[in-house]
Structure 1
Amino acid sequence: MTDGAATDGPAGATGGGGAAGAPGTAGGVPRWPVTEAEAVAEQERIRAAADPVGPGPAPGRARRVAGVDVTYDEESDLLVAAAVVLDAESLEVLEEAVHTGRSRFPYIPGLLAFRELPPVLAALEKLGTPPDLVVCDGYGYAHPRRAGLAVHLGVLTGLPCFGVAKSPFAFDHTEPGPRRGDASPLLDRRSVPPETVGRALRTQPGVRPVFVSAGHGIGLDHACAHTLRLAPRYRLPETTRGADGLSRRVLREIREGLREPYGAAE
């Protein structure tokens, strides 16, 4: 596991050679918006560059699957981003990386990606080998401007990405059937006719569904199939559980004085 110093914005490609010079970058470095208006304009541009259809790697074809998550310190602007790579078959941890930093963009509903992208990109860059697929704790196409974190991250890195969220955000759905694998459309009723932006997916019998949406480079069918393979025992996929647990543990160690908040690489 590695740890790095805080930065205003990391490079726009993963350590394995992601999408340097991707849309929204200058020489591989993202142009991070400063104002809400700039962020909305950037999301519109990202949406136009995204591929939410894929089809992306089919289940069984992606060996290294990464989960990313960010944990915030409630008493300061400190945050910890984690990237955990699992073997897609055994679900064993292959590699971990973390990045500690500061919040650089205010919390604005619908613009969370601009708070989380810089540290998430930095954590991904510390991986020795890029993953075949990235699962975000949050939204992709299921976003008011169809440009959630999974969309934005995929466009910037060139990696197939999708989102698995714990709530339906502002969208509607009917309760899926009670069995594992049952699903129902996640609908944006602002559109006429209502647009399907994701799926409510039951990963465990009798447990609340998760909300899966395509991001970039992978379609919804494959995203749901991967989610079920990654969630054999619990509601959330093991990628999300691993990244969430790692980021929380590192933040706890910082609070207890066991780790420097912005230490050198380990």
Structure 2
Amino acid sequence: MNLSVVKRHLKEIGNYGLYLWKKPSLPSNKFVIFGRGRSGSTLLVNLLTNQNQVHCDNEILHDRLLFPRSYIDLCSSRYQSRVYGFKLLSYQVRDVQPISEPEKFLLSLYESGYKFIYLTRSNLIDHALSNINAKRKQKFHHRSHEGEFKYQPIKVEIEELFQRIQFSEELGKYEKNLLQKIPHLSLTYEDNLLNSESHQKTVDQVLELFNLPSKPVKTNLVKLMPLELSKMVENSEELIEAIKKSKYVDFIRDNTSKSHQQV
């Protein structure tokens, strides 16, 4: 265990001590945004946090913790008078945190009052390319105050694309198994977040879970990638030919004609 991990765990223990000493109450209205990365979850967090009656944390379980369930309560206790939410990616439950029974872990959140929002991305090719682009460039998000953003096309290896798609499919099956016994609001990136025209309706759906009034939405996130494969990928023709020979052919039916963008 390296020094930075030791320091993080010591800080975690110190925070727990303070939390147990103060014994703060927890907010009664809580939610979890659950799903895979690169599915629009940061955009949804951004839209919800700009509602003054809601606070939504990002990935509070991004780093391995000693007591992840207690840490969630600690974070929520800071926002007792507001609706509190946080983003939880499925790989963090499966691969990062010391959770031996993930189904029971999520069920315990639900039973303690957390409402679940399950966010997915339907187009597996777009999802895979978004992951590849973000990892390659180490650029996951861009905000308006950072200045103009210019996208540079990437060259994609066919094998890498299919590996990414298969990884996403596996996580999708894992997520659905975990949520079998948990009622949840299902959202998709394509229907609920891709186009800005759908943002208000999407946020209103979440607010309705807590009987909160609708308020105008806004975001400072800038879209990163064009959806047209010819603009997204240097070797788009090669990529399209490979996809046409695979079971994922339906996912390219709209990509060559639309000009809207993805976050």
Task: Give the TM-score of the pair, scaled to structure 1.
Answer: 0.29
Q: Which structure shows the bigger proportion of residues in strand conformation?
A: 1
Answer 1 or 2: which has greater helix percent.
2
Tell me the TM-score normalized by structure 2. Answer: 0.30
